[in-house]
Amino acid sequence: MYMNRRIGHLDADCFYVSCERVRHGCLRGQAVGVLSNQGACVIAKSYEMKARGVTTGMPIWEALPLCPEAIFIKRDFEWYEVLSRRIREIAERFSPAVEYYSIDEMFFDARGMDFAAARNLQQCILDETGVPVSVGVSLSKILAKLASSSGKPFGCTMATEPEDIKKLLRDRPVEKITGIARRSAKKLLGYGIRTCEEFVRADRRLIRRLLTKRGEDLWWELSGTAVLPIQTTRAAHKNLSRGGSLGIATSDPDRLTGWVARNAERLVEALDHHQVDCGVLAMALQFKDGGASSWRSSLPIATADFSLLHEAGLKLLAQCWPPGIVVSYMHLIAEELSVRAFAQRGLFDAPDPRQRAIAEVKRRINERVGRFTLRSGATLPLADLYADETCSYDICDIYGKTCF
């Protein structure tokens, strides 16, 4: 009946832990936690650890009393990317269109796919990568994602008939809908909408008024009408950002300026990958004791030149940071992006050829010898960070995902 409009979603089970178990078989059946690059927080946990009350984001000193026998491992996104792209390749054998949604999730065109075919896909991924995945097939992306999550772990759920869909939505909190976070759920609660089933029963115009067009799209999706397409390529970025937790919160000016240089170098890598320049640079800081600060600055020319971005970043730090305040997060954001191939430069806007030559030599050496082998001397206060191999590659360095 609905064979021509089926959409699938596959979601790897405890993906980071599963990846570690592929190369370290002794971890199977053990309580395993994967830690952030600074080793402070649990960013992924096995089902054994989850059963002991450990949650994602929990500091290791809180997780250890709950699960003293746990084995903790620092994350390795380069390895996770290898298995993630292998899973995508297998999915592409089964489907004419696959969306690389995130490192551990993919949507795919499931037209003509029945339960046996979905199980076959699931088993092939397990056999060829060692990673267990849960699969959901339904009439839209949002329904397919709900279906895959309902069967975890290693479940295969078909929700293509009206009764199956009603069962999927019944008593499921609206927060389980991708795109509805705490603030949106609070708005819906004011109108007595708590579950996915109540969300679908609500007037579509009310949902649009409360949650804008995005909410209306979710209403259609949950009603069984697919309005969100499978994106085999990511849309162009409106901005690019590099940064995050500083690991050890600091008020040391040298470390903070070192972080500006590190984030600027990583931002240049991203700009070069996408072949774009930025016209505006922004900085956002979060402080350990609460509060935040942000500032943005227009650049003299649209650029991806490290020296210009670094200089602008240092000026932004002076504007954003009250000396003595402890900083825990820093982000550098490139805005007003322009495609280099279509850039219209003025007579005096040409990049300095010496800086361009230095940047090219730096890029080639780092590609051949290793990332950050050559880096700005301004990063020297972060020598401890560069000595830790887990800090050399982050999830944002995995390109092609559509979720961010």
Helix (H, G, I), strand (E, B) or coil at 217: helix
pLDDT of residue 121: 98
- Give one DSSP letter per residue of 93-143, joined into a string: HH-S-EEEEETTEEEEE-TT--HHHHHHHHHHHHHHH---EEEEEESSHHH
What interhelical angle do 306-320 and 253-274 show, nearest 10? 140
Q: Tell me, what's the pLDDT at 40?
A: 83
pLDDT of residue 349: 62
The per-residue pLDDT for range 341-369, each reduced to its tens digit, is 876 666 556 666 777 788 888 889 998 99
Three-state DSSP class for residue 306: helix
The one-letter code for the residue type at 109 is D
Domains in the chain, CATH or no CATH each: 1-161 (3.30.70.270), 170-231 (1.10.150.20), 240-397 (3.30.1490.100)
pLDDT at residue number 61: 94
Residues near 294 by Cβ (< 8 Å), separated by ≥ 6? Answer: 282, 283, 284, 285, 320
Q: Which residues of the chain have pLDDT under 50?
A: 1-3
**Closest C-alpha among 99, 90, 93, 155 to residue 129:** 90
61-112 pLDDT tens trace: 999 999 999 999 999 999 999 999 999 999 999 999 999 999 999 999 999 9
| Per-residue pLDDT at 36 | 87
- Say what the pLDDT of residue 206 is: 97
Q: What's the rounded Cα separation, in Å, for the pair 116 and 242?
A: 43
pLDDT at 2: 39
Residues 194, 197, 202, 208, CA torsion sign: positive
124: left (phi over 0), alpha (psi -120 to 50) or beta: alpha
Question: Which amino acid does the sequence have at 315?
Answer: K
Does the annotation count 105 as an active-site position?
yes
Catalytic site residue from 48, 81, 99, 105 = 105
